[in-house]
Amino acid sequence: MFLNLIGRDRPQAVAWVRGNATNPRLGGIVRFYAVPFGGIVVNAEIFGLPDNAAAAGANGRSMGSSRFYAMHIHENGDCRLPFDRSGNHYNPSGAMHPQHAGDLPPLLSNNGYAWLAFYDGRLSVEEILNRSVVIHAGRDDFTSQPAGDSGDKIGCGVIEAAAYS
């Protein structure tokens, strides 16, 4: 069912992510699909992440590079540089980290490119509209309070209703 959503259906909301001044090549799209029985499917495709420098192995071939990046939904839909107006993690229930509604699985980048799809039963499309998706410079440690010690905000995109004509 989830593959059908991503492959055939149109998302109900999207966030076009762009990088900060230090990462101007960072960009991508995060799509949000409503699920008939509740929750959402999230599909992220991000490129230009800072790990794009590939090391060469003993045979001269690229070994690639990979790294984890935290991705969260933040409370405000304001992605003006330097992304400080995006606010904190979306956390309507006041839960401890990593139980915020806005805590999402990490992106695994390979040579600067990451693709991720997952189901989240805690969220609805309606409640995340006009909030933001933020990508952080580091991984989320899933322990530190209040936000996982994930580093600077290097990418941001406002979650907007998808428009179709």
Sequence-distant contacts of 124-128: CB under 8 A, at least 24 apart: 124/34, 124/38, 124/39, 124/40, 125/12, 125/13, 125/32, 125/33, 125/34, 125/40, 127/92, 127/101, 128/13, 128/32, 128/40, 128/73, 128/90, 128/159
Does the 2-161 domain belong in CATH 2.60.40.200?
A: yes
First to last CA, the chain: 25
Q: Is the pLDDT assigned to residue 114 strictly greater than 80?
A: yes
Per-residue pLDDT for 148 more than 90?
A: no
Q: Specify which of 54-68, 73-87, 94-108 reaches the highest per-range mean pLDDT.
A: 73-87
3-state class (DSSP) for residue 4: helix
Q: What are the tens digits of pLDDT across the range 149-164?
A: 899 999 999 999 998 7
Mean pLDDT of all residues in 77-97? 94
Q: Residue 1 — very low, low, confident or very high, per pLDDT cuts 50/70/90? A: confident
State yes or no: pLDDT of 110 exceeds 80.
yes
The pLDDT assigned to 63 comes to: 58
Q: pTM (2 decimals)?
A: 0.89
**Cα distances (Å, whole numbers) of residue 23 to 17, 52, 69, 153:** 12, 11, 14, 10
pLDDT of 15 > 90? The answer is yes
Domain ranges for the chain: 2-161
Alpha carbons 88 and 74: distance in angstroms, whole number? 5
Tens of pLDDT, residue by residue over 29-64, are: 999 999 999 999 999 999 999 976 555 455 555 556
